[in-house]
Amino acid sequence: MSRTPLRCRYRTALVTGAGAGLGRAFSDMLRAEGVEVWGTSRRPETLGAAERFHPVAFDLADGDSAAEALVGRVAEESGGLELLVHNAGYGVFGGILDQPLSVWRAQLDAMLGGSFALNRAAFASMAPRGRGAIVNVTSMAVEFPIPYFSGYNIAKAGLAALTESLMLEAPMSGITFLDFRPGDYRTGFNQAMYASTPKTLSACAQRVARRLDATLEASPPPQRAALDLRRALSRGRSGVVRSGSFFQTVLGPLGVRLMPLALRRAAMARYFGVR
């Protein structure tokens, strides 16, 4: 692994959802590498003070102008945004008919619409300087959609497609685009998700929820994902980066390429106990 500190490549970074889980680990890693970090939360007062850390309020649900204002503010305060790690996101669990349409719509507006606006603003800010990096934290759900997670599957697949679109449109921009796909990491993700989950779930959805909880409980801490991100940023090459266990990042994607779709779907249904 390159031992050159990341600050030699990126002086300033904006990390969305920097208060907990993966975002916190990414932010801590970047600060340890000497990068000045602007980190967001919907409740910035909970972020606390730390060296090279600037708390900022941001809610993906607040629309295009909030995303543009965030990037504008960070660019101004930092003297130029050089790295965006767009990590913020949340799950909504339940069958398509179990959650009101407004809940699905809100998730898509925030995680697809908000992410698009944020990427566009960061790209506009970096393009004139001809350097920087935009990292979108997607998910292995892009390759393995999770049952009872339709809004999340759509949002993450869309975010991956947006990252690929930027790679296609702007290969000579001097900007690195990363689709960073975590497998399972032990964070408060499921806890946050269950806060908005209906009390009555079908037996099948309950089996899926138990599987999701067991997998998350047995998964590695988010600091491991931060090491993978560090490695990818040091390489400075655009592309897809899978982060997690050998099964999730190597065997699974290989299976996706080799297995017929019907067989893959059956394997996923069996894994989650969907019947």
Site of interaction with ligand NAP (CB under 6 A): 16-17, 19-23, 41-43, 58-61, 87-90, 110, 137, 139, 182, 184-185, 187-189, 192, 216
Taking the complex as a whole, how short is the minimal distance between the CB of residue 86 and ligand NAP, in angstroms? 8
Secondary structure class of 243 (helix, strand, coil):
strand
Q: How far is the CB of 40 from ligand NAP (least distance, A)?
A: 6
Give whichever of 16 and 176 is closer to ligand NAP, judged by the CB atom: 16
Distance CA 250, CA 34 (A): 32
Q: Measured between alpha carbons, how far is 117 from 66 in angstroms, rounded to an integer?
A: 9
Minimal distance, residue 191 CB to ligand NAP, in Å: 7
* DSSP annotation of 145: P
The number of residues in the chain equals: 275
Q: Cα–Cα distance between 123 and 86 in angstroms, integer?
A: 12
Our measurement of the distance from residue 50's CA atom to the centroid of its chain's CA atoms, rounded to an integer in Å, reads 23
The residue (of 201 and 216) whose beta carbon lies closer to ligand NAP is 216
> By C-beta, is 173 or 272 nearer to ligand NAP?
272
Nearest to ligand NAP by Cβ — which residue?
21
> Closest distance between ligand NAP and the C-beta of residue 214, in Å?
13
Q: How far is the CB of 63 from ligand NAP (least distance, A)?
A: 11
Question: At residue 31, what is the residue type?
Answer: R
Contact 181, 241 (CB under 8 A): yes
Q: 8 CB contacts (<8 Å, ≥6 apart)? A: none
| Closer Cβ to ligand NAP, 70 or 173, answer by number | 70
CB atoms within 10 A of CB 262: 8
Residue closer to ligand NAP, measured from CB, 89 or 94: 89
